[in-house]
Amino acid sequence: MPWSLEEGAYRKLSLQNDARIVFLIFDGLGDLPGPDGVTPLEAADAPVLDRLAAEGVCGQFDPVAPGITPGSGPGHLGLFGYNPLQFPVGRGVLAALGIDFPLEPADVAARFNYCTLDGEGRITDRRAGRISTQENQRLTALLHAKLGDAFGDVKVFVETVSEHRGLLVLRGDGLGAAVCDTDPQATGVPPIDACGEDAASQRTAELVRKIVARVRELLAGEPKANGILLRGFDRRPDIPSLGERFQLRPVCIAQYPMYRGLARLVGMDLPAAPAELDDLPGALKAVWDHHDFFFLHVKYTDKAGEDGDFARKVRVIEQVDRFIPKILDLGPDVLVVSADHSTPASLKAHSWHPVPTLLWAPATVRPDEVSSFGERACIKGGLGRQRLSNLLPIALAHAHKFQKFGA
Amino acid sequence: MPWSLEEGAYRKLSLQNDARIVFLIFDGLGDLPGPDGVTPLEAADAPVLDRLAAEGVCGQFDPVAPGITPGSGPGHLGLFGYNPLQFPVGRGVLAALGIDFPLEPADVAARFNYCTLDGEGRITDRRAGRISTQENQRLTALLHAKLGDAFGDVKVFVETVSEHRGLLVLRGDGLGAAVCDTDPQATGVPPIDACGEDAASQRTAELVRKIVARVRELLAGEPKANGILLRGFDRRPDIPSLGERFQLRPVCIAQYPMYRGLARLVGMDLPAAPAELDDLPGALKAVWDHHDFFFLHVKYTDKAGEDGDFARKVRVIEQVDRFIPKILDLGPDVLVVSADHSTPASLKAHSWHPVPTLLWAPATVRPDEVSSFGERACIKGGLGRQRLSNLLPIALAHAHKFQKFGA
């Protein structure tokens, strides 16, 4: 395990105490100025966030590294205090987490697209005309039934993700995960034959070629989805848990399976999340006595950003702002408000911009002169600009969860 | 030697010239706001420091890494330009440095506490009722006389540190320093048997067990201090000197043995320090012609912080401020004012908060808009927020002590 010097030190210095840390995470919070020259966070009427920023210390955090746009996996790993470049989470594994598929440590997972192939086996549509999820489910049930036990000792799972997207999981002994993508990311050419980087992965690639051939036989009569393209073969990463690294007793309150899956990867407890955003403080209160690290995930800011809906993003921020006092009533020692990445409404996509962040900790904070919570205000914050994976260690320090280093 | 790329580059680019760099270090300078909402440094009437901050460039520096609270050893190594995580200094070595014990490269040193053991050999008091230093000296003289030459080729030194604290040093061939602590950090249990991680350390641990057993025989009649608990076995780290790394001719003016010892570790000259703080400029003048790097250590800010004495910390800063003009009269090319760590009066302990720092260098500085020297002012400084080990290289650059890298 290629631990950095810092990570080794953090692990050795960790200690357990009763101090409680809340991470309130607005997915995709960071943004760019809209037509009025302000961002959704700057535009929002959010007096509680502004007060916390004024009383606390602010900064900007790069989720992975400067200029790198993170997917949801790396963004969350950064928030959880891991260097996302050190613990890559493959597309197949994320897809499995996203549909709550119970991936076992030795499983090999890959994402696939249904695609359309012409008579010569060349790709004419990499997304099979974006078939419906229902259509996907019909095809997937067929494949799952025919392929599941057809390959000897290796059990094959075929699962629907959504629309043209699916998940392939191989379970058995001696599999390798260093298998190349079969999606050439182009039309007019045939899919790439699966290939493997090492002996075990070469055997696995041979199995994948057989599976792909059998899929083509089974789907030969389909007008649109008559083939599959595979991407992101991987295994569940072997990530040391937050308990091992920091002696934390962490819990995640998140609705969406992908974030729940990511939290599970690092050993968080996962109570059922409330259906309504406004019920988040109640859900937090219910688990308050049994944990010391509380990860609260608000998805809707990211959704609004992806949809290019500036006004909706503002409304989500305002809605959360109104219930933060209920979180404060529980008496956290440290409250961090941050994000896994930026999702500017004008870009309708994740971006590389650093995420605005505030850390509130009445007993131990050295305040800066920031008096409101916003992207530009945070530039002048005392936390400066740093890697997102530093944020959790800083929060732990404010909760006195590290011993002194050296005498 | 695991040099980072940067360190290798710094070493290759170093050159010697007559430019002089002064590091004026206030131990534990960084703090948190007191009841009036300002820190001791912000509260101090320190017009010279404010002018230097206005003319120079400021910033915040993390002594070790974000969130890590450094002991005195790591904090100083950071100031000396070393990554403290790369050059750990064990508790035993620091104790030796702290009492000016002339540690040789192969010596193995450990800190010990006198403790109280009950009839069954269980610890009832880990600090032996905090016996007086005088009492310690009596016991230590006895042990030193009886143990010194009692173990064949290995010479045993037993030395008083203070109160219940002592130093054990083993000198001989083939010793190992990877020996576990015998202090279980708990009462009601017996001390841990010394154990070693490698063959040499296992032999050393066996010797330690014999020493511990003999100590118990020798102290059997003592009412309080009838045993010892050992911690932090280590060797003097093999640190390349500032001369080797940067071609510096460094000198340290510090009163306290621990800081003198740390300075000796990196090859600084060590003239006798003045008893009075106000005589620091005179002591500096006396060595001005023979060196180009001057490390001035002011202990009393840290002491005031540890004692929770906000007002005294303010007074120490103001006292130093008044004599800085005498330092400037000597004509330094670069003057840095910084700290080894923060010691907030409200926490009465070292903390992880970054240290406020100013760099003054009339010929080469790019000033920022900071106009006073304080924790919050430094947030907006041109040096930004970075690792403390970067500070010395930046100062060296301002003294033209690096060649250009690449053509």
B290: tokens are 């023979």
Among partner residues A5, A9, A406, which is closest to B89 by beta-carbon distance?
A: A406
Q: What is the ipTM of this complex?
A: 0.89
Mean pLDDT, rounded, for A61-70? 97
Q: Which of A9, A396, A407 is the closest to B232 by Cβ?
A: A407
Quote the CA–CA distance of B328 and B333 in Å, as a whole number.
9
Q: Is the pLDDT of residue A100 over 90?
A: no
Residues 6 or more apart from A162 whose CB is under 8 A from it? A133, A136
Averaged pLDDT of chain B: 95
B91/A396 touch (CB, cutoff 8 Å), yes or no: no
**Which residue is it, tokens 């006292």?**
B319
The token pair that represents A289 in the structure block: 């006595």
pLDDT in tens, A13-26: 999 999 999 999 99
Of the candidates A23, A7, A11, the one whose C-alpha atom is nearest the C-alpha of residue A75 is A23
Within 10 angstroms of residue A221's Cβ, the number of other Cβ atoms is: 7
- What is the reported pLDDT for A7? 82
Q: Which of B74, B94, B384 sits opposite A405 (nearest CB)?
A: B74
**How many angstroms away from the CA of A380 is the closest CA of chain B?**
7
Q: How many CB atoms lie within 10 A of CB A282?
A: 12
The pLDDT of residue A357 is above 60: yes
What is the model's pLDDT at position B4? 67
CATH topology of domain B9-86+241-398: Alkaline Phosphatase, subunit A (3.40.720)
User: Given CB atoms, is B107 within the 8 Å cutoff of chain A?
Assistant: no
pLDDT surpassing 80 at residue A252: yes
Instruction: Name the residue among A6, A384, A404 with its Cβ closest to that of B69.
Output: A404
Which tens digits make up the pLDDT trace of B190-203?
999 999 999 999 99
What is the tens place of the pLDDT at every residue in B210-250? 999 999 999 999 999 999 999 999 999 889 999 999 999 99
Q: What is the pLDDT of residue B1?
A: 42
Query: Each residue of B255-294: pLDDT tens digit?
Result: 988 899 899 999 999 999 999 999 999 999 999 999 999 9
Beta-carbon separation of A404 and B83 below 8 A:
no
> Minimal Cα–Cα distance from B250 to chain A, Å?
24
Touching check for B200 and chain A: CB below 8 Å? no
Report the 10 Å Cβ neighbour count for A138: 13
> A379 or B99, which is more confident?
A379
Contact B67 A383 (CB under 8 A): no
Q: How confident is the model at residue B333 (pLDDT cuts 50, 70, 90)?
A: very high
Query: Can you give the residue ranges of every domain in chain A?
Result: 5-87+239-398, 94-234
The answer to whether A3 contacts chain B (CB < 8 Å) is: no
Q: Do B65 and A402 touch (CB under 8 A)?
A: no
- Cβ-contact A204, A196 below 8 angstroms: yes
Residues with Cβ within 8 Å of A274's Cβ and at least 6 positions away in sequence, in order, are A253, A255, A280, A282, A283
B123-126 own/partner pairs: CB under 8 Å, 24+ apart: B123/B184, B123/B186, B123/B187, B123/B188, B123/B189, B123/B190, B123/B191, B123/B227, B123/B229, B124/B187, B124/B188, B125/B187, B125/B224, B126/B183, B126/B185, B126/B186, B126/B187, B126/B229
State the DSSP code for A334.
E
Q: Is the pLDDT of residue A380 over 90?
A: yes
Which pLDDT tens digit goes with each residue over B86-144? Answer: 998 888 998 898 888 999 999 999 999 999 999 999 999 999 999 999 999 999 999 99
CA nearest A379 in B: which residue? B380
Instruction: Tell me the pLDDT band of A95, cut-offs 50, 70 and 90.
Output: confident
What pLDDT, on the 0 to 100 scale, is given for residue B136? 96
Per the CB < 8 A criterion, the answer to whether A228 and A114 are in contact is yes
Going by DSSP bridges, is the β-strand pair B384-387/B57-62 parallel, antiparallel, or unpaired?
parallel
**Cα distance from A17 to chain B (closest Cα, Å)?**
16
Q: B50-85, pLDDT tens digit by residue?
A: 999 999 999 999 999 999 999 999 999 999 999 999
pTM of the model: 0.90
Our CA-based measurement puts residue A26 at a distance from the nearest CA of chain B, in whole angstroms, of: 23
Burial class (CB in 10 A: 0-12, 13-18, 19+), B144: middle
Nearest to A405 among B71, B83, B232 (CB): B71
CB contact under 8 A, A5 and B33: no
CA–CA separation, A191 and A199 (whole Å): 22
Name every residue whose Cβ is closer than 8 Å to that of residue B272 and which is 6 or more positions away in sequence. none
With b for 16 or more beta-carbon neighbours within 10 A and e for fewer, the B189-200 pattern comes to: eebeebbbeeeb
Q: Which of B67, B89, B379 is nearest residue A393 as measured by Cβ atoms?
A: B67
Instruction: Report how many helices (DSSP H) and strands (DSSP E) chain A contains, helices first.
Output: 14, 12
Q: Please give the pLDDT value at position A3.
A: 53
B154/chain A closest Cα distance in angstroms: 27
CB B45 within 8 A of CB B316: no
pLDDT at A2: 42
> Is the CATH number 3.40.720.10 carried by domain A5-87+239-398?
yes
**Residues, chain A:** 407
Q: Judge: B71–A406 Cβ closer than 8 Å, yes or no.
A: yes
Give the CATH number of domain B94-234; options: 1.10.8, 3.90.660, 3.30.70, 3.40.50. Answer: 3.30.70
Strand partners, B57: B359
- What is the rounded average pLDDT of the residues B333-339? 98
Cross-chain Cβ contact A369/B379 below 8 Å: yes
Chain B residue whose CA is closest to A398: B67
Query: Nearest residue of A to residue B94 by CA position?
Result: A407
Question: What are the tens digits of pLDDT across the range A311-339?
Answer: 999 999 999 999 999 999 999 999 999 99
Distance CA A171, CA A96 (A): 13
Query: How far apart are alpha carbons B126 and B117 in whole angstroms?
Result: 9
Nearest C-alpha of chain A: how many angstroms from B85? Answer: 6
Among A369, A380, A396, the residue with its CB nearest the CB of B67 is A396
Task: Encode pLDDT of B22-52 as tens digits.
Answer: 999 999 999 999 999 999 999 999 999 999 9
Among the partner residues A5, A383, A406, nearest to B70 by beta-carbon distance = A406
Angle at A318 between CA A315 and CA A321, to 5 degrees: 155
Q: Are A14 and A245 in contact (CB under 8 A)?
A: yes
Name the band, by pLDDT with cuts 50, 70 and 90, for residue B207: very high
Distance from CA of A389 to the nearest CA of B (A): 10
pLDDT band for B3, please (50, 70, 90 cuts).
Answer: low
- Interchain contact A90–B (C-beta under 8 A): no
Percent over 90 (pLDDT), chain B: 91
The total number of residues shown for chain B amounts to: 407
Report yes or no: A365 at the B interface, CB cutoff 8 Å.
yes
Is the confidence at residue A42, as pLDDT, over 80? Answer: yes
Q: Tally Cβ neighbours within 10 Å of residue A45.
A: 11
Nearest CA among A291, A404, A342 for reference residue A40: A342
Question: What are the tens digits of pLDDT across the range A180-203?
Answer: 999 999 999 999 999 999 999 999
Does A382 reach chain B within 8 Å, measured CB to CB?
A: yes
User: What mean pLDDT do residues A135-158 have?
Assistant: 95
Q: Which residues of A touch B89 (CB under 8 A)?
A: 406-407
pLDDT at A50 over 70: yes
